[in-house]
Structure 1
Amino acid sequence: MKFPLRRRAAAAAAAITLGAMALPVAQLAAGTEARAAGRVSISSPLGGNQAAAGSPTTVSLTGNGFQSIQGGFGGVYVFFGWVSDGAWQPSAGGKTGTDLLYVPDSEARDNQGYQRFIAFPGSGTAASANGGTLGTDGAWSVQLTIPGASFSALDRSGASKTVDCLAVTCGIITIGAHGVANPENESFTPISFTGQATGEANKAPGSAAPGGTAQAGAAQGTGSSVVPGAAAAPGAVPAGPASLGVDSKTIIAGRVLTFNARGFLPGEQVSASVSAGLVGAGALVAGQHGEVAGAVQLPADMRAGTHVIKVAAAASGTTAQAEFSVVADAALLNAQTSTADAGTGWSWPLSAVLAAGGILLLLVLTSLVTAILRRRATKPRRGNTPAATA
Structure 2
Amino acid sequence: MRPTHRRQLRRVLTAAVATALVGATVALVATPAEAAARITVRNDRGGNQADSTYQTKLTLSGTGFQVVRGGFGGVYVMFGWVKDANSGSWKPSKGGHTGDDYRYIPDAENADANKGYLKFVAFPGSSTAADANAVLSASGGFSVDLTIPGPVFTSVDRDGTAHEVDCRKVTCGVITIGAHGVINGANETFTPVRFGNVYGDSAPPSSTPDPSPNADNDSTTGGSTTGGAAPGPGATDGSAPPSSPVVPTKRAGKPTLTVDRDTATPGHALAFTSSGLTPGEQVLAILDDGIVAIGPMVAGVSGEVAGLIQLPVDLAAGTHELRLTGAASGTAVTELFPVRSAETSTATPASDTTTDGGWGAPQAFLAFAALVFAGALVAVILRLLRRRRAPRKPQTTVPAAGVAP
- The TM-score, its normalising length taken from structure 1, stands at 0.51
Instruction: Answer whether contact 1:245 1:260 (CA < 8 A) is retained.
Output: no
Instruction: Answer whether contact 1:286 1:292 (CA < 8 A) is retained.
Output: no
State the match for 1:102 in structure 2. Answer: 104
Is 1:174 equivalent to 2:176 in the alignment?
yes
Alignment partners' CA distance in 2, 1:128 and 1:158? 25
Alignment partners' CA distance in 1, 2:189 and 2:67? 15
Is 1:212 equivalent to 2:217 in the alignment?
no
Q: Which amino acid letter does the alignment assign opposite residue 292 of structure 1?
A: L
Structure with greater contact order relative to length (CA < 8 Å, sep ≥ 6): 2
State the match for 2:75 in structure 1. Answer: 76
1:312 pairs, out of 304, 309, 321, with 321
State the match for 1:60 in structure 2. Answer: 59
State the match for 2:302 in structure 1. Answer: none
Instruction: Answer whether contact 1:246 1:260 (CA < 8 A) is retained.
Output: no
Give CA-to-partner distance per residue, 1:316-352, whole Å, 9 cap, x none: 6532779xxxxxxxxxxxxxxxxxxxxxxxxxxxxxx
Secondary structure, in 3 states, of the residue corresponding to 1:318? Answer: strand
Alignment partners' CA distance in 2, 1:148 and 1:212? 9
Alignment partners' CA distance in 1, 2:220 and 2:195? 7
Aligned residues: 228
Q: CA deviation at 1:107?
A: 1.9
Q: Which runs of 5+ in 1 are unaligned?
A: 1-35, 197-204, 227-239, 249-255, 270-284, 298-309, 323-390
Q: CA deviation at 1:71?
A: 0.5
The RMSD of aligned alpha carbons is 3.6
Instruction: Answer whether contact 1:96 1:288 (CA < 8 A) is retained.
Output: no
2:292 pairs, out of 273, 282, 287, with 287
Instruction: Answer whether contact 2:39 2:63 (CA < 8 A) is retained.
Output: yes
State the match for 2:118 in structure 1. Answer: 115
Alignment partners' CA distance in 2, 1:295 and 1:157? 18
Q: Which amino acid letter does the alignment assign opposite residue 61 of structure 1?
A: L
Alignment partners' CA distance in 2, 1:247 and 1:164? 37
Secondary structure, in 3 states, of the residue corresponding to 2:135? Answer: coil
Q: Which amino acid letter does the alignment assign opposite residue 318 of structure 1?
A: T
Q: CA deviation at 1:243?
A: 4.6
Alignment partners' CA distance in 1, 2:334 and 2:221? 39
**Residues 247, 37 of structure 1: CA spacing in aligned structure 2 closer, same or farther, 3 A cutoff?**
same
Q: Which amino acid letter does the alignment assign opposite residue 321 of structure 2?
A: A
Q: CA deviation at 1:37?
A: 2.3
Please give the residue correspondences for 1:258-337 in structure 2 after superposition, counting only pairs within 5 Å: 260-261=269-270, 265-266=285-286, 268-269=288-289, 286-287=291-292, 289=294, 290-292=309-311, 312-313=321-322, 318-319=334-335
* Structure 1 segments (4+ residues) deviating >4 Å: 240-243, 256-260, 262-267, 293-297, 314-317
Is 1:42 equivalent to 2:41 in the alignment?
yes
Instruction: Answer whether contact 2:81 2:103 (CA < 8 A) is retained.
Output: yes
2:157 pairs, out of 155, 158, 166, with 155
Instruction: Answer whether contact 1:259 1:295 (CA < 8 A) is retained.
Output: no
Q: Which amino acid letter does the alignment assign opposite residue 171 of structure 2?
A: T
Alignment partners' CA distance in 2, 1:246 and 1:287? 19
Secondary structure, in 3 states, of the residue corresponding to 1:101? Answer: strand
Alignment partners' CA distance in 1, 2:165 and 2:179? 23
Secondary structure, in 3 states, of the residue corresponding to 1:171? Answer: strand
State the match for 2:262 in structure 1. Answer: 246
State the match for 1:135 in structure 2. Answer: 137
Alignment partners' CA distance in 1, 2:45 and 2:101? 29
Q: Which amino acid letter does the alignment assign opposite residue 334 of structure 2?
A: T
Please give the residue correspondences for 1:358-373 in structure 2 after superposition, counting only pairs within 5 Å: none
Identity of aligned residues (%): 41
Q: CA deviation at 1:58?
A: 0.4
Alignment partners' CA distance in 1, 2:178 and 2:137? 15
Q: Which runs of 5+ in 2 are unaligned?
A: 1-34, 199-205, 223-228, 230-255, 273-283, 295-308, 325-331, 339-405
Alignment partners' CA distance in 2, 1:210 and 1:317? 30
Alignment partners' CA distance in 2, 1:62 and 1:94? 25
**Residues 247, 39 of structure 1: CA spacing in aligned structure 2 closer, same or farther, 3 A cutoff?**
same
